[in-house]
């Protein structure tokens, strides 16, 4: 038996998205090098679209996609009240 999935690719753009400037990206990656050690591994599942976006963005920026993911996650967490320079 052969299964076929017909999927329509959609482009989702939110009105709340404000692109990060090139200087903000550079500042984040430089700060990440001087910051706390990356000692914890967090694994999670994501959609194919999310992973594809991360890998494309990483290739565009010349970074590893885990760095792009940390940057995006940090920005989202800051919007929720997270202080990346604070001590927990």
Q: For residue range 2-41, list pLDDT tens digits in order.
A: 555 665 555 555 555 566 788 888 888 888 777 767 778 8
Residue 15 lies in a domain: no
Residue 85 lies in a domain: no
**What is the domain range of residue 47?**
22-79
Determine what percent of the chain is predicted with pLDDT higher than 90. 30
User: Which three-class secondary structure string do you get for 16-60?
Assistant: CCCCCCHHHHHHHHHHHHHCCCCCCCCCCCCCHHHHHHHHHHHHH
How many domains are contained in the chain? 1
Claim: this prediction has a pTM higher than 0.75: no
Task: Note the pLDDT of residue 16.
Answer: 54
Distance between CA atoms of residues 34 and 57, nearest Å: 23
Residue 7 lies in a domain: no
């Amino acid at each position: 038996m052969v299964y076929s999935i017909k999927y329509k690719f959609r482009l989702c753009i939110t009105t709340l998205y404000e692109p990060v400037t090139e200087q903000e990206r550079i500042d984040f990656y430089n700060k990440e090098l001087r910051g706390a050690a990356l000692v914890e591994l967090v694994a999670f599942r994501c959609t194919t679209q999310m992973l594809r976006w991360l890998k494309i963005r990483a290739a565009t920026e010349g970074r590893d996609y885990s760095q792009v993911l940390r940057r995006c996650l940090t920005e989202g967490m800051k919007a929720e009240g997270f202080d990346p320079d604070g001590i927990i």
